[in-house]
């Protein structure tokens, strides 16, 4: 079981590698990846430096080119593929079938991982991508139960990667346009949910208000943690009661079911958070490295201590196993 860690910049990549990541995933400085935030991602020179450092420490570098190209900017995606392959990236993480086809026309064997953005949740979908594009692995959306993940790991023709820890994007990945509704930009095309340029914070006495493109998303009392204003996690007036309309701010943490994921044959655990700090990446990578090694060695495994430490780093300081433990789907 591989530990795949996020790297939004070179210092985070170094922390991930030094704390035991088997692979790190990065993006280029454009809208071809789903974390196109100001100050994040890698230039050409930085990619060379990143690959050198990671490979020296036996760690692979994956590059996410996982947004959906727009017709008038298609070359942006093909140039990004060319650049990543030429620079020596180990694997491309891709969602769009046009981009996959472009890669396969360049090389029959270059490793492709199906991005979570493709939102593939059935054996048939995974086998389709394998049959037509020889994908090596698929990253599953965070909407499946443990039993469903186990079935896919057993029956599909590809390796399975699942999210282990990090912010929860509650919609079926690759299909959420809530951010576009308010700002005209969403992760699917421009690589960003709720772009910072549309975010407003305003202190009103003891209350802190957050807005997205001038729409009130939430109000926080002095003693509350103020979350980033995404529409999915806002509090709204519903039938006269102000409450979270879709989901409370929380992070996914599957450490409690790590032995079951391992037994199910899951090939890799992915840590979310390219937008997080190097210190965050270091701490999360360290705990997950230790946990995976413990589970793989067959030693008795207790997730209690790492879970309580990781809780401090979680959104809203609370974690959930999310869809893995739901008895409805
Ligand atoms: S609005 Fe929420 S669910 Fe939709 S992409 Fe953004 S974080 Fe994910």
Model pLDDT for residues 161-194, shown as the tens digit of each residue: 999 999 887 666 778 889 999 999 988 888 889 9
Instruction: Please work out whether the CB of residue 190 comes within 6 Å of at least one atom of ligand 1.
Output: no
- Element (DSSP H or E) covering residue 297: helix 278-297
The residue whose C-alpha atom lies closest to atom 7 belonging to ligand 1 is 169
Residue 186 φ/ψ, nearest 5 degrees = -140, 170
- Whether 329 shows a pLDDT value over 70: the answer reads no
Contact 29, 46 (CB under 8 A): no
Ligand 1 pocket check: which of 35, 67, 117, 171 to mutate, most ligand atoms within 8 Å of Cβ?
Answer: 171
Please report the atom of ligand 1 found closest to the CA of residue 176: 4
Ligand 1 pocket check: which of 231, 245, 247 to mutate, most ligand atoms within 8 Å of Cβ?
Answer: 231
In terms of Cα–Cα distance, which of 33, 287, 300, 36 is closest to 165?
A: 287
- Where are the chain's structural domains? 2-168+250-325, 196-244
- Whether 240 shows a pLDDT value over 60: the answer reads yes
Contact 111, 136 (CB under 8 A): yes
Residue 178 CA to ligand 1 center (angstroms) comes to: 7
- Half-sphere exposure for 188 (CA within 13 Å, toward CB): 16
Q: Which residues neighbour 133 within 8 Å (Cβ) at sequence distance 6 or greater?
A: 97, 100, 101, 103, 104, 112
Instruction: Please work out whether the CB of residue 187 comes within 6 Å of at least one atom of ligand 1.
Output: yes
From CA 168, how far away is CA 261, in angstroms rounded? 19
How does pLDDT run across 17-48, given as a tens digit for each residue?
999 999 999 999 999 998 888 889 999 999 99
How does pLDDT run across 263-311, given as a tens digit for each residue?
999 999 999 999 899 999 999 999 999 999 999 998 887 878 787 778 7
pLDDT of residue 328: 61
Q: Beta partners for 215?
A: 212
From CA 176, how far away is CA 190, in angstroms rounded? 13
- Tokens 């957050």, residue located: 210
How does pLDDT run across 58-110, given as a tens digit for each residue?
999 999 999 999 889 999 999 999 999 999 999 999 999 999 999 999 999 99
Instruction: Please work out whether the CB of residue 183 comes within 6 Å of at least one atom of ligand 1.
Output: no
pLDDT of residue 227: 84
2-168+250-325: CATH topology: TIM Barrel (3.20.20)
- Whether 197 shows a pLDDT value over 70: the answer reads yes
From CA 200, how far away is CA 222, in angstroms rounded? 18
Contact 126, 114 (CB under 8 A): yes
Please report the atom of ligand 1 found closest to the CA of residue 170: 3
């Amino acid at each position: 079981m591989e530990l795949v860690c996020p790297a939004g910049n070179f210092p985070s990549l170094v922390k991930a590698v030094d704390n035991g990541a088997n692979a790190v995933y990065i993006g280029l400085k454009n809208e071809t990846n789903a974390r196109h935030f100001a100050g994040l991602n890698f230039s050409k020179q930085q990619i060379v430096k990143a690959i050198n450092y990671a490979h020296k420490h036996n760690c692979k570098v994956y590059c996410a080119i996982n947004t959906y190209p727009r017709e008038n900017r298609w070359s942006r995606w093909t140039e990004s593929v060319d650049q990543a392959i030429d620079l020596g990236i180990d694997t491309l993480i891709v969602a769009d079938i046009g981009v996959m086809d472009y890669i396969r026309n360049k090389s029959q064997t270059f490793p492709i991982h199906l991005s979570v953005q493709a939102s593939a949740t059935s054996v048939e979908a995974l086998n389709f991508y394998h049959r037509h594009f020889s994908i090596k692995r698929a990253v599953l959306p965070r909407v499946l139960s443990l039993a469903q993940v186990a079935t896919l790991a057993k029956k599909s023709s590809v390796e399975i990667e699942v999210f282990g820890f990090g912010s929860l994007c509650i919609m079926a990945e690759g299909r959420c346009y809530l951010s576009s509704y308010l700002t005209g930009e969403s992760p699917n095309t421009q690589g960003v949910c709720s772009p910072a340029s549309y975010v407003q914070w305003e202190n009103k006495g003891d209350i802190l208000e957050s807005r997205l493109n001038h729409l009130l998303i939430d109000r926080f009392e002095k003693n509350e943690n103020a979350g980033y204003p995404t529409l999915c996690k806002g509090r709204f007036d519903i039938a006269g009661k102000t409450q979270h309309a879709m989901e409370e701010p929380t992070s996914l943490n599957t450490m409690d079911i790590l032995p079951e994921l391992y037994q199910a044959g899951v090939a890799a655990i992915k840590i979310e958070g390219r937008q997080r700090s190097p210190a965050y990446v270091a701490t999360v990578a360290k705990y997950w490295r230790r946990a995976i090694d413990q589970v793989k060695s067959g030693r008795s495994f207790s997730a209690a201590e790492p879970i309580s430490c990781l809780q401090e780093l979680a959104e809203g300081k609370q974690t959930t196993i999310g869809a893995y433990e739901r008895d409805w789907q």
